[in-house]
Amino acid sequence: MNATQELLALFKAEVLERLESLEQLVQGPPEGWDLAHLRRIAHNIKGAARIAGVDGVQEVAHLMEDLLAGANSGDILSPDAVELMREGVRLLKICLGSMDGPSSPSVAAYRDRVKGGAPAGPRPPEASAPAAPKPESRRAPDTGSGAPSEPRAAADTLRVTTHKVDRLMGLASELTTSGRGSEEYDQALRELTGSLQTLARQFPGIKATPSFRAALGNAQELRRSLTAEGGLRSKLASQLQEAVRALRLVRIDSLRAVLDRVVQDACGHTGRQATLDVAGGSTEVDRAVLEALRDPLVHLLRNAIAHGIETPAERVKLGKPAVGRVTLRARSSGAWVEVAVADDGRGFNLHAIRLRAVERGWISPPELETTEEEVLLGFIFRAGFSTAETPNQVSGRGIGLEVVRENLEGIGGSIQVESSPGRGATYCLEVPLTRLTTSGIIARLGAHYVAAPLVSVEQTFFVTPADVRMVDNEPVVAVNGEPIPLLALEGALKIEADRREKRPALLLSEGRTRRAVLVDQVLGCRDFVMQPLNWNLRHVPGLIATTVIEGGRVVLVLNTRELLHLGVRRSSELAGSSARRARRVVVADDSVTSRTLLRNILASAGYEILVAVDGRQAWQILQEKPADLLITDVEMPEIDGFELTRKVRAHETMAGLPVIVVTSLGNEEHRMQGAEAGANAYVVKGAFDQDELLRAIARCL
């Protein structure tokens, strides 16, 4: 059983136990329901499902939590709400049995019923945009007679599922990969021919024998045939790959109707007026990339309206047109697509960001005025950040931008923001053109294999320790007379590499940014299909995907863009670094699903982990064994996370122990409680951003 299967099995066992309690509670008369207990069970199920990635269970539990959100102790739910709660329990059992996703008709129907008739605490509308219209609704008007057009459209259009296209692409790539086996046969025939020719030189008389001439001629002819056939197969496989890849390409402006609706809805909720302009809408990207872009673009457009565009009266007073302008620009750049979302609003309030960053403990008061603007703007992508005073249907909950960053990083993309006070803000997104096939340089690094997309590799060369010099405490190597920063890839990926004097290096470049990365052996160029990273690799910086090459070897595909901009310099990696004691982390969480996930993440990052099933056990462990960090949930029996944090802060020798609260409770009240208790960081589980957690740990240690 792999780590993912283990996590799902633990999740299922945990939720079945909680479901049993939930079912017993709702079977009784509503007058006797303990609403706080029901809400807590629903919340725990939602949190476990979110971590395990079981969307159907998560959504149903969230909806049940919404039903109870507006009720106080001693309240009695309406008959409709009672029936919806009982229906939710039944639906949870169905979803758990089939691991049903949010697209399930049953879940969708339940969502509609809860949102349409929930009597207490109705949930605000989802931030996600309505589904894109069917392609037929976007077809250009027919200029001829109407009757023949429908049969012609039916004859020219064939709907094929993305799964089938992916399968076809996989087969085409396997055809290309399998063709590389002929290279071995070609090499064997070349060696055989060479041996025969050597034999003829050593024994001249043998050349005259018919059998020898026939053998040599057959070997040469077989090699020519094999070369011609291999070349033809390679050409056809490449053409097939390109044809299938073209099937997956869609225009950016295929989202236009969705994004227009998002802007209209956001304006309606906020009282703003704005138009959406799209430039470069004909830019094509892989369908999977566009799907991954959809939610981030929705969030950014809503954010531009809610926080950027002023009200019509404010704009007129400032000398601006009453109607604001939001622009989406897209363009291709090599193997990447650049998308910008800009508005002509007020820009970011850097003073408000500074104050909120101090409140969160991200910067200290002395750093308030010296922190650079780029760093300040980076805070807006942290979990829970919001400068809105009052939450509404569009903004103010402290969610959204961290999800944007998470979604983009999940496909190997990135996001930056620029702001001009009084003139507006621009979000700059960069995503790979395709998530499917690419060409790359395959290299070996210790016992592992890595691949760098060919479009990012400028050249390969060899490096010895004598070639490396230190500039500003960073290792650099001269390439064509230019000093290039040098990164030992094993240090970035935490992989054990060979220790040899002379090692190959790949010179990566993008625009004017260049960096050399060390490997152990360059194996050559390959075409390969990129597969998503397993969950336990997603926190590793510098990786974008995996692939499998001939011989069943798993290859880690490098995120060259991230490596080029890696902020941490590892100057000692070329010569090797001394081993350090693994930092010890105590994890306190009453959910076995959460404990297992946290343990796996921390173990993969090289930490020593001690787990506790509740706050009391964690306190005992802390008193018995020295620890470097405490990670705690909030809602636990006997001693909750806040009380545990206060006990640590009050202890004579443990007062300085870093504490990170990791919980699904993301509202402002709970954050303030965590800060008052003395927590160093507060991480909302959400879709569980492992990178954010590991960065928080690194800051604390």
The pLDDT score that the predictor gives to residue 203 is 83
* Distance separating alpha carbons of residues 60 and 186, to the nearest angstrom: 59
232, 248, 264: which is the final residue of a domain? 248
Q: Is the residue at 136 inside a domain?
A: no
Q: Which string of DSSP letters, residue by residue, matches 227-272?
A: HHHHHHHHHHHHHHHHHHHHHHEEEGGGGHHHHHHHHHHHHHHHT-
Higher-scoring residue by pLDDT: 387, 542? 542
Higher-pLDDT residue of 185 and 173 is 185
Q: For residue 572, report the phi and psi dihedrals to the nearest 5 degrees.
A: -100, 5
Q: Both 243 and 256 in a single domain?
A: no
Q: Six-digit token pair at 155?
A: 């004859």
Provide the pLDDT for residue 567. 41
Question: What are the CA-CA distances from residue 471 to residues 437, 462, 478, 486, 502 (Å)?
Answer: 38, 20, 12, 11, 21
Write out pLDDT tens, residues 398-427: 445 777 887 787 676 788 899 999 999 999
243 and 256 in a common domain: no
- Regarding whether 256 and 235 lie in a shared domain, the answer is no
Q: Cβ(335)–Cβ(354) under 8 Å?
A: no
pLDDT at 669 over 80: no
Please indicate, yes or no, if residue 146 is contained in any of the structural domains.
Answer: no
Report the CATH number that the domain containing residue 169 is assigned in CATH.
1.10.287
Confidence band for 172, pLDDT divided at 50, 70 and 90? low
For residue 388, what pLDDT band results from cuts at 50, 70 and 90?
Answer: low
Q: Please tell me the predicted confidence (pLDDT) of residue 323.
A: 95
CA distances from 388 to 181, 311, 499 (A): 61, 15, 53
Same domain assignment for residues 240 and 174 = yes
* Last residue of one domain, picked from the residues 200, 219, 248: 248
pLDDT at site 142: 35
**Could you tell me if 514 and 617 lie in one domain?**
no
Query: What CA–CA distances, in Å, run from 489 to 478, 482, 544, 570?
Result: 18, 21, 14, 10
The answer to the question of residue 86 being in a domain is yes
pLDDT of residue 570: 41
Number of domains in the chain: 5
In terms of pLDDT, which residue wins out, 129 or 215? Answer: 215
13 token code pair: 């066992």
Indicate the residue among 248, 277, 306 that finishes a domain.
Answer: 248
Answer whether residue 66 is part of any domain.
yes
- Domain holding 218, by residue range, is 162-248
Q: pTM higher than 0.95, yes or no?
A: no
pLDDT tens-digit readout, 334-375: 677 899 999 999 998 888 888 888 887 788 888 777 778 888
Residue 322's pLDDT band (cuts 50, 70, 90) = very high
User: Is 153 part of a structural domain of the chain?
Assistant: no
Q: Are residues 550 and 612 in the same domain?
A: no
Share the mean pLDDT of the chain. 77
Looking at mean pLDDT, say which of 84-88, 205-209, 436-440, 487-491 comes out highest. Answer: 84-88
267 plus 391 within the same structural domain: yes
Nearest to 273 by CA among 348, 345, 328, 341: 345
Same domain, 370 and 472: no
Phi then psi for residue 393, to 5 deg, are: -70, -10
Share of the chain above pLDDT 70, in %: 78
Mark whether 181 and 58 lie in a shared domain: no
333-363 per-residue burial string, b: 16 or more CB within 10 A, e: under 16 = eebbbebbbbbbbbbbeeeebbebbeebebb
pLDDT tens for 35-85 read 877 888 888 888 778 777 788 888 898 899 888 876 665 677 888 888 899
Q: How many CB atoms lie within 10 A of CB 301?
A: 27
Task: Say which CATH number the domain at 447 has.
Answer: 2.40.50.180
Q: Which residue has better confidence, 189 or 666?
A: 189
Same domain, yes or no: 588 and 693: yes
255 and 287 assigned to the same domain: yes
Predicted local confidence at residue 406, as pLDDT: 73
For the four alpha carbons of 651, 653, 654 and 656, in that order, the dihedral sign comes to positive
Helix boundaries (H) for 99-209: 105-117, 149-156, 162-179, 181-202
Cβ atoms within 10 Å, residue 616? 16
Encode burial over 242-267: b for 16+ CB neighbours within 10 A, e otherwise.
eebbeebebebbbbbbbbebbbebbb
pLDDT higher than 90, residue 598: no
Distance CA 453, CA 30 (A): 61
* Structural domain includes residue 572: no
Helices (H) and strands (E) in the chain, counts: 22, 23
- 589 lies in the same domain as 660: yes
